[in-house]
Amino acid sequence: MISLKKLFTPVQSINADETKTLIAGQTEGAYTLLDVRQPGEYESEHIPGAKLIPLPDLKDGYSQLDSLKPVIVYCRSGSRSLAAAQLLSGLGFNEIYNLQGGINGFVRILHGYS
């Protein structure tokens, strides 16, 4: 059941540097890295360890995720992931982060671009 109040509660957005720090500070499996892009986008490039559930499939596919673990959601630039984070919040997930700038911003940080 979707909680309408939580659906409209702002979720926390974090930038690429904060995401890199968050991932580095946790053991693998302690969080979920969720890619909500389409399969072709994922195949082209994704953050290692990311689980793919395209945004249109998330309402049915969210049960594949552990609602007790922090979830870092990303897309190409941050718009779809924000919608996905809001949906997960409405579905009862408590610790959700939207990656601002999406994979585009994350890749720039990994390769040392500003």
Nearest to 15 by CA among 89, 112, 98, 108: 98
Determine the number of helices (DSSP H) and then strands (DSSP E) in the chain.
6, 5
Instruction: Answer for the pair 41, 62: CB distance below 8 angstroms, yes or no.
Output: no
Q: Going from the N-terminus, what domains does the chain have, and what CATH number goes with each?
A: 4-110 (3.40.250.10)
At 19-77, the pLDDT tens digits run 989 888 888 889 999 999 999 999 999 998 999 999 999 999 999 999 999 999 999 99
Report the residue count for the chain.
114
- pTM value is 0.88
At 82-102, the pLDDT tens digits run 999 999 999 999 899 999 999
- Reported in sequence order, the residue ranges of 16-81 that DSSP labels E, i.e. its strands, are 32-35, 51-52, 71-74
Residues acting as catalytic residues: 75
